[in-house]
Structure 1
Amino acid sequence: MPPRTGGERLYVAVTAAIVVVPFLALGLAGWLLWGRLIHPADVLLALVLYTVTGLGVTVGFHRGLTHGSYQAIRPVRIALAVAGSMSFQGDVTGWVATHRRHHAFTDRPGDPHSPYRYGTHLRGQLRGLAHAHIGWLFRNDPTPAARYAPDLLADPGIRAVTRAFPALCVLTLALPFALGWAIGGTWQRAVTALVWAGLVRIALLHHVTWSVNSLCHVIGRRPFRTRRHDRATNLWPLALLSFGESWHNLHHADPTSARHGVDRGQIDPSAAAIRLLERLGWAHDVHWPTPDRIGTRRA
């Protein structure tokens, strides 16, 4: 491999900073404020709500509703849609429509959040990375649900969850506030629970999800073949925080696969959750990857 140029080294350094610095800052804040403005109950509540809402996005919104990697019984389907809506990432129908559009036009014109929007030179890549991470949210570029998610528009239960999105946003903040008050017995403890298990938890999950949109199309390994223009990668540092979504190269090589982390050592909590639902009889028609299917997609 030829040595990196100065511009390439700068690009890698900036990308690494985007991934690492926010988590270091969060850890430092927790250490400095421990026992004063953050308590063990706040961390536990944040962990539980992060897991519930995160799996709502990955297992419910993404692998289930967007790609049909499995079929869930109706109560589970609705519960996962509710949990995903409490992540504050938009209503379920809009989320699914946008992601299906992303797969239809991956890394080419029409993709709502491609990091290659401004070219492949250093300045364009840095600008594109910012666009794919968060800038695309501020563009007036709506995705028509009638075109990309007609099945969800035809589902009365999903329509109800979509309409309830504002109320679920209130609930995802009111819940940690109420639990903090119940556990700590004071409004101060309620507020610290709201901050850490509400606002910080939501922000962390946002940036992890957005990092799959941005970093997982720019940096990482590509052991599987994808369509022309599609540059989805596997980025292992995000695997646990993203519940296995950062094994993004395999996902784009085989979008309906219920498991994204298919190689040895690739942790995929979302696949484990789907396996549990299947064993409980709450999910069926699961598209598990087979050795032959994986082998045909190897680069």
Structure 2
Amino acid sequence: MSAPTATRPRALRPADPDRGLPPNALGKEKGHLEQLTLYVFVVVPFLALAAVVPAVWGWGLSWLDVGLLVAFYFVPLLGVTVGYHRYFTHGSFKATRPLRIALAVVGCMAIQGPVVQWVADHRRHHAFSDRDGDPHSPWRYGDDTRALLKGMFHAHLGWLFDRRQTNAERYAPDLLKDGALRVTSRLFIVWAFLSLALPAAIGGLVTGSWAGAWTAFFWAGLVRTALLHHVTWSINSICHVVGSRPFASRDRATNFWPLAILSGGESWHNLHHADPTCARHGVLRGQIDISARVIWVFEKLGWAHSVKWPDPVRLAAKRQQPAAA
């Protein structure tokens, strides 16, 4: 007799996309300034990414630009994967107070939103994953090709422009109780500015020129932000449609290996949805998970403790079994 597999989630209804949500799941509408800021941080880096080839022909790409791009890509990425996601959202480990605040600040520098709102959105996603109420399911409009393409755009990018926000008081009350964390979250625009300004400042100081500041700003600021955004958004879109599903979960989360390094291990998404609090997402042989290694380092340094590492018994119980002949 084969082990039960995940129930196939039904398509969400476009006429009532928030059907099934509790009455207080949605908070206030986004203000005009917040919407304008969102458009700037999403559209401008995307245009910069589209201008990469002309930029290479016009100004070139120095090793300093490459180094800054890599550093300002992976440090904020880990702020999101280790901090926003595995620590703040799912409690995969406990952290010292300085590490807690540092993870919030560095996560904000990924320019994906304030930590409190990000956590609220993601907890709501897990509560309704690929069902009515999920803020960014690619199966929102149905299973046919046209509906799925529309749903993947919504999951990848479109959901960010919904006017109503997830109610943080319902989905992230623990974070709202932390005064320092609330202040850090409210200062998101400051951390976002620094995320773009620091590469330019370093490039200008090292080269002693405005040209060095500009190329560093372009590559390690704008292009880096666009790349990081699209890799993160791909976890919402691609990793719920394309890939393998070795573990049973109640949704369609998949593993998509091509994004493993660029996503810091987040694209081992199937295991994450099968066991959300697990600190390691890449649990099978050959699955690189940079974020889990960083958590391991924090644990060794004494900055993190009570880490929820994979349990072989739990993993075995969640493995998908082939259907009986």
TM-score (norm 1): 0.88
Q: Is the 8 A contact 1:63 1:256 kept in 2?
A: yes
Match of 1:69 in 2: 92
Q: Is the 8 A contact 2:137 2:151 kept in 1?
A: yes
Query: Within 1, Cα distance between the matches of 2:63 and 2:50?
Result: 14
Q: Does 1:45 align with 2:68?
A: yes
Q: Does 1:94 align with 2:102?
A: no
Match of 1:57 in 2: 80
- Among 192, 209, 223, the alignment partner of 1:186 is 209
Code of the residue aligned with 1:47 in structure 2: it is V
Describe how 1:11-50 pairs up with structure 2 within 5 A: 29=52, 33=56, 36-50=59-73
- Among 201, 204, 211, the alignment partner of 2:234 is 211
Query: Which SS does the other structure have where 2:318 is aligned?
Result: coil
Q: Is the 8 A contact 1:56 1:83 kept in 2?
A: yes
How far off is 1:291 after superposition?
Answer: 1.2
How far off is 1:157 after superposition?
Answer: 1.7
- Among 103, 117, 122, the alignment partner of 2:145 is 122
Query: Within 2, Cα distance between the matches of 1:90 and 1:182?
Result: 29
Query: Within 1, Cα distance between the matches of 2:104 and 2:293?
Result: 18
Query: Which SS does the other structure have where 1:263 is aligned?
Result: coil
Query: Within 1, Cα distance between the matches of 2:83 and 2:115?
Result: 9
Code of the residue aligned with 1:50 in structure 2: it is Y
Task: Specify whether residues 85 and 28 from structure 1 end up closer, same or farther in structure 2 by C-alpha distance, changes over 3 A only.
Answer: closer
Q: What are the ranges of 5 or more consecutive residues in structure 1 without an aligned counterpart?
A: 1-24
How far off is 1:36 after superposition?
Answer: 2.9
Query: Within 1, Cα distance between the matches of 2:245 and 2:57?
Result: 40
Query: Within 2, Cα distance between the matches of 1:46 and 1:176?
Result: 8
Q: RCO higher in 1 or 2 (8 Å CA, sep ≥ 6)?
A: 2
How far off is 1:33 after superposition?
Answer: 1.9
Query: Within 1, Cα distance between the matches of 2:128 and 2:79?
Result: 25
Match of 1:140 in 2: 163
Code of the residue aligned with 2:268 in structure 1: it is W
Describe how 1:127-276 pairs up with structure 2 within 5 A: 127-227=150-250, 230-276=251-297
Q: C-alpha offsets along residues 46-104 of structure 1, whole Å, 9 cap, x if unaligned? A: 10111110000000000000000000101011101100100110000000000000000
Match of 2:25 in 1: none
Query: Within 1, Cα distance between the matches of 2:133 and 2:56?
Result: 45
Q: C-alpha offsets along residues 93-135 of structure 1, whole Å, 9 cap, x if unaligned? A: 0000000000000001100000011000111001001110001
How far off is 1:189 after superposition?
Answer: 0.9
Identity %: 60
Q: Which moved more, 1:29-38 or 1:85-94?
A: 29-38
Code of the residue aligned with 1:126 in structure 2: it is L
Query: Within 1, Cα distance between the matches of 2:209 and 2:169?
Result: 47
Code of the residue aligned with 2:300 in structure 1: it is R
Match of 2:317 in 1: 296
Query: Which SS does the other structure have where 2:64 is aligned?
Result: helix
Query: Within 2, Cα distance between the matches of 1:140 and 1:27?
Result: 27
Code of the residue aligned with 2:269 in structure 1: it is H
- More helix, by proportion: 1
Task: Specify whether residues 266 and 52 from structure 1 end up closer, same or farther in structure 2 by C-alpha distance, changes over 3 A only.
Answer: same
Query: Which SS does the other structure have where 1:256 is aligned?
Result: coil
Query: Within 1, Cα distance between the matches of 2:52 and 2:186?
Result: 36
TM-score (norm 2): 0.81
Q: C-alpha offsets along residues 165-205 of structure 1, whole Å, 9 cap, x if unaligned? A: 01111111110110010111111110110010001111100
Could you list the structure 1 runs, at least 4 aligned residues long, displaced by more than 4 angstroms after superposition: 25-32
How far off is 1:34 after superposition?
Answer: 7.2
Q: Is the 8 A contact 2:77 2:107 kept in 1?
A: yes
Task: Specify whether residues 216 and 265 from structure 1 end up closer, same or farther in structure 2 by C-alpha distance, changes over 3 A only.
Answer: same
Query: Within 2, Cα distance between the matches of 1:77 and 1:35?
Result: 42
Query: Within 1, Cα distance between the matches of 2:50 and 2:166?
Result: 37
Q: What are the ranges of 5 or more consecutive residues in structure 2 without an aligned counterpart?
A: 1-47, 321-325
Match of 1:12 in 2: none
Q: Is the 8 A contact 2:79 2:106 kept in 1?
A: yes
Query: Which SS does the other structure have where 1:79 is aligned?
Result: helix
Aligned Cα RMSD in Å? 1.8
Q: Is the 8 A contact 1:112 1:141 kept in 2?
A: no
Match of 1:280 in 2: 301
Code of the residue aligned with 2:267 in structure 1: it is S
